Structure 1
Amino acid sequence: MAKRPLLVGNWKMHGDGGDLAVIVAIGEAARRHPAVDVALSLPATLIDRARRVCPGLAIGGQDCHPEPSGAHTGDISAPMLREAGASLVLLGHSERRQDHHEDDALIAAKLRAARAAGLEVILCVGETAEDHAAGRSAEVVRGQLTLSLAGMNGQGIAIAYEPVWAIGGDRTPEPKEVAAMVGLIRNTVAGARVLYGGSVTPDNGEALFVDGGIDGFLVGRQSLDADAFTAILKLIDGTAR
């Protein structure tokens, strides 16, 4: 059975109160395309304000601490995200894995904390350029899934396949490469929606969606532009019908 398409925007460390109009515009576009689930993962400083100006749009965080509270200066817990109005959270993004040296055991602990707090999770997996060149993509992604989920099933979890070498640049894998990885993910995590992320644009999105076997996208820089994000939403809605 086909799963409902899902489009998630990751604003990363961008956005302030002056960008609430962009969030409102995206929320209005989401209402015009009710067949697609739409969410924005925002900086924590924007979650409550976004929820207030656009109550019908799913709002998420970009990370959480594995503990519900404690002496962890600068961190934010899953219950705090939930209390602020978030309904989901990104975990395991390559920028967290690389810049903050997060391993799969830590991501697994965060995932358990997020689910315990009632948050849905977008779990990010993907190989580096070195792994890709060495033919280790499947091995790396399977390992990330197995260790990050640590025996949990796909309930309340979507998997975002983001090849690290495609994030923030102009390179994207061929749709057949994405389809092969999607098949691996579905065989490893039954029932989860599978997204693709990595330099998604309105121009390359249709081929990836049609031929990649995915259920939607995790979009970075294009989600900061309401028109570009809406164009991706339109192509998903039109193609999924």
Structure 2
Amino acid sequence: MRKVIIAGNWKMYKTQAEALDFLRGFLDHLNETPDDREIVICAPFTALGTLSKNLHGSRVRVGAQNVHWEDAGAFTGEISAPMLVELGVRYVVVGHSERRQYFGDTDVTVNLRLRAAQTHGLIPILCVGETKQQRDANETEAVIIGQLDKDLRGVDQERLVIAYEPIWAIGTGDTCESEEANRIIGLIRSKLNYPDVPIQYGGSVKPGNIDEIMAQPEIDGALVGGASLIPNDFARIVNYKTVV
């Protein structure tokens, strides 16, 4: 049985005080959220402790946005899995396109981060996706299959989440058509050894399109960027309407 996971990726937004303000406007909306949905907030490192403390006993899980492959060492600006575990983190985003584009993450380092996360009991959310140039060149399938082949070596697929995030749709307002997202996510699933891996869609997910996205049979949730910063918007996404 595949799990539905709705995760917010706050990126480099929200101080500790702003994170607390968000929770005051968000948590009351969860009274109507069906029990079959896992809710995750992936926050900046500085807000993780505050969120973990204030979400204790709630149904919202705390996630980080990156993890190093070593437990400790001279790696300025990085954070280790044991540090995240100590803060009560459950999930961690790995291989986001912004990490790959701006901070030098490669399929090799993504694989190392995935394995380190799992070694310490964290559940990684692996991001894969193609650029606009790659899509226009009809390279989408080859790019994603190549990422999966390299990123998942030695990774336990039973303790994994994958997010399909077409790079051209992240923060642009352009959303991949839900049927096309479903097709690509079905392709991803066909390449896995464990078919029940939850696979999310990410890329300009909004309150206005979440119902249509979640109506697709292959899509198991969403990795939400900008809309996850607004309590009412993220609550509407978490409480998406099941289309009968």
TM-score (norm. length: structure 2):
0.93
1:60-89: CA deviations, max 9, x gaps? Answer: 110011100011111100110111111110
> Does residue 200 in structure 1 map to residue 193 in structure 2?
no
Distance in 1 separating the partners of 2:72 and 2:108: 19
Q: How many residues align?
A: 238
Aligned to 2:67: 64
Q: Does structure 2 retain, via aligned residues, the 8 Å contact 1:64–1:89?
A: yes
Partner amino acid for 1:5?
A: V
Aligned to 1:49: 50
Partner amino acid for 2:150?
A: L
Q: Quick one: structure 1 residues 225 and 26, their matched pair in 2 at CA, closer, same or farther if it must change by over 3 Å?
A: same
Aligned to 1:136: 139
1:12-60: CA deviations, max 9, x gaps? Answer: 0001122212134434433531221100000011111111112122001
Distance in 2 separating the partners of 1:228 and 1:131: 31
Aligned to 2:166: 163
Give the deviation of 1:156 after TM superposition.
1.3
Map residues 73-152 of structure 1 onto 2, 5 A cutoff: 73-152=76-155
Pairing partner for 1:218 from 215, 219, 223: 223
Give the deviation of 1:240 after TM superposition.
7.1
Distance in 2 separating the partners of 1:156 and 1:26: 28
Partner amino acid for 1:51?
A: S
Q: Which runs of 5+ in 2 are unaligned?
A: none
1:173-196: CA deviations, max 9, x gaps? Answer: 112211111111111122210000
Partner amino acid for 1:54?
A: L
Q: Quick one: structure 1 residues 76 and 223, their matched pair in 2 at CA, closer, same or farther if it must change by over 3 Å?
A: same
> Does residue 176 in structure 1 map to residue 179 in structure 2?
yes
SS at match of 1:211: coil
Q: Does structure 2 retain, via aligned residues, the 8 Å contact 1:175–1:212?
A: no
Which is worse superposed, 193-202 or 203-212? Answer: 203-212
SS at match of 2:158: coil
Q: Does structure 1 retain, via aligned residues, the 8 Å contact 2:114–2:155?
A: no
Percent of residue pairs bearing the same amino acid type: 37
Which is worse superposed, 104-113 or 32-41? Answer: 32-41
Partner amino acid for 1:4?
A: K
Give the deviation of 1:213 after TM superposition.
2.5
Q: Quick one: structure 1 residues 30 and 197, their matched pair in 2 at CA, closer, same or farther if it must change by over 3 Å?
A: same
Which is worse superposed, 141-150 or 28-37? Answer: 28-37
Aligned to 1:4: 3
SS at match of 1:45: helix
Distance in 2 separating the partners of 1:170 and 1:221: 10
TM-score (norm. length: structure 1):
0.94
Partner amino acid for 2:230?
A: D
Q: Does structure 2 retain, via aligned residues, the 8 Å contact 1:22–1:226?
A: yes
Q: Quick one: structure 1 residues 137 and 175, their matched pair in 2 at CA, closer, same or farther if it must change by over 3 Å?
A: same
Partner amino acid for 1:126?
A: G
Across the aligned residues of Structure 1 and Structure 2, the Cα RMSD in angstroms comes to: 1.5
Give the deviation of 1:211 after TM superposition.
2.8
Aligned to 2:14: 15
Distance in 2 separating the partners of 1:98 and 1:41: 19
